Amino acid sequence: MNFLKRLEIQGFKSFAAKTVLEFPARIVAVVGPNGSGKSNIIDAMRWALGEREAKQLRGETIENLIFAGTAKKPAAGFARVALYFDNKEKNLPVDFEEMVVERKVDRSAVSQFFCNDSEIRLRDLVPLLARARLSSRGLNMIGQGDSDVFVR
Q: Which does 32 bind (CB under 5 to 8 A by kind): ligand ATP, Mg ion, none?
A: ligand ATP
What's the min distance (Å) between Cβ of 122 and ligand ATP?
Answer: 22
Measured from the CB atom, the residue of 58 and 132 that comes closer to ligand ATP is 58
Under rule CB under 5 A, residue 34 binds Mg ion: no
Among 4, 21, 68, 120, binds ligand ATP (CB under 6 A): 68
d(CA 21, CA 83) in angstroms, rounded, equals 10
What's the min distance (Å) between Cβ of 136 and Mg ion?
Answer: 18
Under rule CB under 6 A, residue 144 binds ligand ATP: yes
What's the min distance (Å) between Cβ of 123 and ligand ATP?
Answer: 27
The amino acid sitting at 101 is V
Measured from the CB atom, the residue of 23 and 143 that comes closer to Mg ion is 143
**Which range of residues in 31-39, 47-55, 71-79, 89-97 is near Mg ion by CB under 5 A?**
31-39
Among 17, 20, 22, 36, binds ligand ATP (CB under 6 A): 36
The DSSP line for the chain is --SEEEEEEESBTTB-S-EEEE--SS-------TTSSHHHHHHHHHHHTT---GGGGT-SSGGGGB----SSSPPPSEEEEEEEEE-TT--SSSSSSEEEEEEEEETT--EEEEETTEEE-HHHHHHHHHTTT--TTSTT---TT-GGGGT-
**Which range of residues in 1-9, 37-45, 107-115, 124-132 is near ligand ATP by CB under 6 A?**
37-45
Phi (first) and psi of residue 40, to 5 degrees: -60, -25
- Which residues contribute to the site for Mg ion (CB under 5 A)? 38-39, 144
